[in-house]
């Protein structure tokens, strides 16, 4: 069992590596190509996948979940989200948000497992983090990133509501976000937040 500081160090080291987006690099991923014509698979046989620090970090976090160490799990998620806020910029906001929110969704899905004891606590922690992160995105003007992030949160919220987890935090923050977005004249984002809020518990 590693100590908290050690774990923090490891995950920070991993996340300090440069970010690599799925579409960059030369490694042939069949799911990412629309048309194989014109690409010679043999030619690209020697292209190796890029390093994927986020996937590594996610894997590490899920390992702490298997060991039921909630403190480390929370810290891992915290570091992951902090890394996200560090990596995001106005050029990569869409891809970066998609990448990070997918991995967070993975962590969340593991948390819904029936033999994971801290589903409630983890969900509360995630909801609290989401609030701050999306508010930051909004204030910094990452509209597209914020929109994608909200979409992913709403999907998680919906799944959570179906499992009987409380969604009041999400509801509240979607509402405050909507008000704030209106104030900042981001009417499209405000409408999206409202729509997510109204659809959160319809199933």
Partner 1 sequence: MFNHTLYPFIVISMIGGLLTLLSSVGIFISLIIQRKVERLQAILEEFIDLSYQSDLNLSGKMFNLIEKYQMHYILPANPRRIIMGYMNITIGLTAAFWLSLYFLSFEGPFRWISILYLLPLVALTLIMFWFRKLLKYVINIENTPLLGAIIPAPKRLRSISYLSSFINVSVKSVLKQARLSLLLKKYGEENNEPWTVVLKEELSFDDFFYFVICSTEKDTVFVSFGEIIFDFPNDAITGKPSPIKKNLNIPLGEAVMNVEPEELKAHILIFTRGEKHPINYLFKLKKGGKNYYAPADNPEVTIDHQITYCIEDNKIILLKNESPLPFIKEFAHLFNLNGIRLYLGEISQGKTVDKNLKTSTESVFVD
Binding site for partner 1 (CB under 8 A): 120, 160-162, 164-169, 171-172, 175-176, 179-180, 183, 194, 197-198, 201-203
What are the backbone angles phi and psi of residue 49, rounded to the nearest 5°? -65, 150
Rounded to a whole number of angstroms, the minimum distance from the CB of residue 104 to partner 1 is 20
Rounded to a whole number of angstroms, the minimum distance from the CB of residue 189 to partner 1 is 14
Distance CA 8, CA 82 (A): 12
Closer residue to partner 1 in complex, CB, 145/157: 157
Locus of tokens 């104030």: 183
Closer residue to partner 1 in complex, CB, 39/132: 132
Distance CA 40, CA 196 (A): 43
Rounded to a whole number of angstroms, the minimum distance from the CB of residue 201 to partner 1 is 4
Closer residue to partner 1 in complex, CB, 102/120: 120
Closer residue to partner 1 in complex, CB, 15/156: 156
Q: How far does CA 88 lie from the centroid of its chain?
A: 12
Specify whether the CB–CB gap between 149 and 126 falls below 8 A: no
Rounded to a whole number of angstroms, the minimum distance from the CB of residue 169 to partner 1 is 7
Specify whether the CB–CB gap between 177 and 126 falls below 8 A: no
Closer residue to partner 1 in complex, CB, 40/185: 185
What are the backbone angles phi and psi of residue 21, rounded to the nearest 5°? -85, 150
Rounded to a whole number of angstroms, the minimum distance from the CB of residue 147 to partner 1 is 19
Q: What is the dihedral of CA 159, 166, 85, 113, to 10 degrees?
A: -50
């Amino acid at each position: 069992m590693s100590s908290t500081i050690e774990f923090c160090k490891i995950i920070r080291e991993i996340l300090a590596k440069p970010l690599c987006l799925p579409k960059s690099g030369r490694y042939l991923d069949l799911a990412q190509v629309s048309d194989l014509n014109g690409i010679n698979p043999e030619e690209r046989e020697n292209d190796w996948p890029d390093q994927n620090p986020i996937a590594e970090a996610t894997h590490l976090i899920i390992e702490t979940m298997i060991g039921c160490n909630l403190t480390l799990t929370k810290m891992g998620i915290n570091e992951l989200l902090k890394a996200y806020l560090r990596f995001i910029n106005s050029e990569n906001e869409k891809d970066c948000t998609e990448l990070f929110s997918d991995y967070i969704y993975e962590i969340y899905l593991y948390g819904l497992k029936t033999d994971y004891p801290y589903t409630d606590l983890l969900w509360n922690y995630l909801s609290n983090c989401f609030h701050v992160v999306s508010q930051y995105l909004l204030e910094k003007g990452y509209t597209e990133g914020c929109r994608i992030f909200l979409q992913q949160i709403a999907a998680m919220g919906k799944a959570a509501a179906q499992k009987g987890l409380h969604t009041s935090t999400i509801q509240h923050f979607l509402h405050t976000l909507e008000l704030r977005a209106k104030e900042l004249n981001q009417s499209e984002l405000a409408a999206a937040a409202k729509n997510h809020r109204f659809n959160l518990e319809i199933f």
